[in-house]
Structure 1
């Protein structure tokens, strides 16, 4: 089943790549209006350009792909309205030059005078000098649109990673100090919502502040690829061009820093910094926000493919939630407990049907992908094996201990391996396999998106006292990357024909809609 899980992850990532999000079928331009449609071709938004020229700004891990797909899906008469284009992307993208070249070529076809520039920055998703330079350039160019008549139409293409790419600290705070605070919060288990709230308080451009560089009466449309549970538009990419929530203040950031016991010096800066007075700075702005892609898009693609493709072989595919953001350890433990519960109750059910409470159900969460119960209704007494795939989407958190190397998805797989080894014969007999990976292709500061665990991986561990000891110490030290790297080497030495490295290494995917976790088994 391990190959099936890898295939499911590939399908999920392809479904949320920019060339699937922005296509000629999902972007229409007629009569001065830009229509944006979803994957079912239902209208998400209608943008009326009203004769305005366009400033195109793309930020995030998907910015290059979003820009290329956006400009290649729209006709020349729309492209001729673009006067300035700015792209800020993660510097480590391997094929960035070829993509940028294609963007230049497409925009040049409009014969309009376009100021195009792309900035590579923050290769490790940490703000750097490249981020500062790009940010200053963007706000300088936005200021220069004050001469445009009518005022500009700013179209932003925002995806995860924007917080690190568009960054400039407030006066009195060094970039290094801001980075240290965010690092402290991350290591102590802060959620992405909490991280971006603090980032915004320290920033000159986040939480709508970038809009202050626009002239009055400008129009803004944010096309957003969501990487946060619940799609909170003011927090995705730290919302640089989203109108701030009325009544928001720095006190929220201060509360978070107090909760996680952060630097006293920086808490003092936040406490004395006046709230950005957006209302008196920017007037008569029209801002529209459109979610064009999210975690649920990826999950729906997996469900559809797993059911339709007979070669994949799943009889039931169940999404438990697309909105998980709790402990990564609790998530794994809950999944293995649920799998055991389903297996043990198979023959106790009437008419070979099961209906169990979904342990991930949260009545307070608006998640259409989250059922209240887990229903398995297609079991047949005549079928030798009934194969099930359970899916969890979201962005788990973890408290980092020790000084190991890894990320939350690899750590999830490490904990899953421990669970597997604890009752190896049971889980092996039911072909249990587990995958956890980030859709952006990068889990923590590593070159892996995540990892996969199955009976072959677990077998290697239970037959080696040394590996069992290393597994326990790697969990304590959060050293998942090195553990799975060693495991891959041991597989090669063993000469096992069924060898497949536990690591998932797909490189930067050019998209980002949080994490996906799959667990499959047979009953």
Structure 2
């Protein structure tokens, strides 16, 4: 999985840390997650606690997200002979898997590939799905960008521009998707309005802190807990509202003034046909990683699976925990494995190349610069393999990094202030390169202290 692993393994401690991280990401493998959830026995399919009789209904499979292709491979492997057809939208692959067509979408910013593929998916639904049919929906992180049909009066360029600006200004995924739901005909439960099927089962890999169904891929099959007014307030918070064209503002006003044109809310009868099941998540991987660390002889502690905040500030907090363990062996005695998961944000002020995981790791290194303790390794990594604008998934630091950058006469604070974490770590050959991993369950932090 890690393409440059030989650059990164500099001791046995490095090898252990990387092994824990790789196994944590593999735990969320979409193929395995589907196989753990979907079973066939006789003439019945069991999906979690749902029982489907194979002789009564046609089964369609649709999906979108970074992990959707691997999910589709698994579902076809298990029940392919019973699938009537369907369409999957993926960022990196086109073709067919069994009776499923795989179409390409755009990520992280949607454009025409996304719209064209999404229209084909909706067209398939409208032409083929009957009231007595069953639809399995495969949803994973990245679905917000990969599956999109703009609301009337909105162009895909508008959605792309607003999304890009919100991300650049530090909006988190909750804020971003609250806005995107109002600009879309398929988000916030609106996909259900196209589906006539008697039963809809969504199998979901969560990339959202707290696993909120209405935020994962903007909740296409889930009741929406957000409001149009919240979306307007978010746009005002990030100083975007005043500059929006009046036509775009009217879309938000329309959703605010007419609930029927807004997202699907709890209690809507349309939800009676839907079952949403989370099949992989950040906390599940963290628990698995903690057990592996324990097997290696470390005392594991999961701090949280809901790590949020500005990446450079979170780096300071994690540095303070490492310092406390080093000086006082609080909250745990060494050898210790500190684990956390979630998704931080970066407010971009510089013009460098980086991402939230590398920025967090750079902040961590900078804030540990004055301690003499050497026997630690820390990793910050995105489970999807892509961190921000860089080709890296994350980065690795240890107690010897300070000698390295000082010998090269480079200042980590300069790179931190320029949001140029990838350049910093690539110079030190400490960037972690994986390419797309095929899954997405947020980010992971691991620190091992001998």
| 1:411 partner SS | helix
Instruction: Mark the CA change 1:84 to 1:282 in structure 2 (over 3 Å): closer, same or farther.
Output: farther
Deviation by residue 1:103-159 (Cα, 9 ceiling, x = unmatched) = 32xxxxxxxxx4x3111121x42112110011101111111135x3x5321101110
TM-score, normalising length from structure 2? 0.89
Q: How does 1:307-322 map to 2 (within 5 A)?
A: 307-309=294-296, 314-322=297-305
User: Quick one: distance in 2 between partners of 1:406 and 1:301?
Assistant: 28
> CA distance change for structure 1 residues 344 and 420 in 2, over 3 Å: closer, same or farther?
closer
- Aligned counterparts of 2:191 and 2:76: Cα–Cα separation in 1: 23
Q: 1:434 to 1:19 in 2, by over 3 A?
A: same
Shift of residue 473 of structure 1? 1.7
Question: What pairs up with 1:55-204 in 2 under 5 angstroms?
Answer: 55-72=60-77, 74=78, 78-91=79-92, 96=93, 103-104=97-98, 114=99, 116-122=100-106, 124-145=107-128, 148=130, 150-204=131-185
Once residues 16 and 308 of structure 2 are traced to their aligned partners in structure 1, the CA distance between those partners, rounded to angstroms, is: 25
**Preserved contact between residue 133 and residue 199 of structure 2 (Cα < 8 Å):** yes
Q: Distance in 2 between matches of 1:345 and 1:287?
A: 51
The 2-side partners of 1:343 and 1:482 are apart by 29
Q: Is the 8 A contact 1:234 1:243 kept in 2?
A: yes
2:179 and 2:305 map into 1 onto residues whose CA distance is 25
Shift of 1:81: 3.2
TM value normalised by structure 1: 0.77
Report what 1:447 is aligned to.
Answer: 391
Query: Which residue matches 1:345?
Result: 328
Write out aligned runs for 1:98-497 (5 A): 103-104=97-98, 114=99, 116-122=100-106, 124-145=107-128, 148=130, 150-215=131-196, 218-245=198-225, 248-264=226-242, 265-266=244-245, 268-274=249-255, 275=259, 276=261, 283=270, 285-309=272-296, 314-346=297-329, 374=331, 376=332, 386-421=334-369, 423-424=370-371, 426-428=372-374, 431-464=375-408, 466-468=409-411, 471-487=412-428
The CA distance in 1 between the partners of 2:303 and 2:110, in whole Å, is: 35
Contact 1:222/1:290 (<8 A) preserved: yes
RMSD: 2.3
SS in 1 for 2:193: helix
Secondary structure of 2:87's aligned partner: strand
Partner of 1:45: 49
Larger Rg: 1 or 2? 1
Partner of 1:172, secondary structure, is coil
- Distance in 1, matches of 2:416 and 2:167, equals 18
Within the alignment, does 1:4 sit opposite 2:8 as a pair?
A: no
Q: Distance in 1 between matches of 2:360 and 2:271?
A: 47
For the residue of structure 1 that corresponds to 2:373, the secondary structure is helix
How many Å separate the matches in 2 of 1:339 and 1:220?
Answer: 47
Equivalent pair of 1:54/1:152 in contact (CA under 8 Å) = yes
Alpha-carbon distance between aligned partners in 2 of 1:173 and 1:11, rounded to the nearest angstrom: 42
Q: Secondary structure at the match of 2:50?
A: strand
Q: Secondary structure at the match of 2:138?
A: strand
Q: Distance in 2 between matches of 1:49 and 1:144?
A: 23
CA distance in 2, matches of 1:136, 1:302: 40
Contact map agreement 2:153 2:251 (CA 8 A) in 1: no
Summarize deviations over 1:298-353 as a string: whole Å, max 9, x none.
112211212224xxxx421111111112222222111211222222224xxxxxxx
Runs of 4+ in 1 over 6 A off after TM superposition: 279-282
Shift of 1:432: 2.2
Quickly say closer, same or farther: Cα 1:407–1:191, change in 2 above 3 A. same
Gaps of 5+ in 1: 37-43, 105-113, 347-355, 357-373, 380-385, 488-500
How far apart, CA to CA, are the structure 1 residues paired with 2:144 and 2:270? 25
- Number of residue pairs matched by the alignment: 428
Q: 1:234 to 1:33 in 2, by over 3 A?
A: farther
Deviation at 1:194, TM superposition (A): 0.8
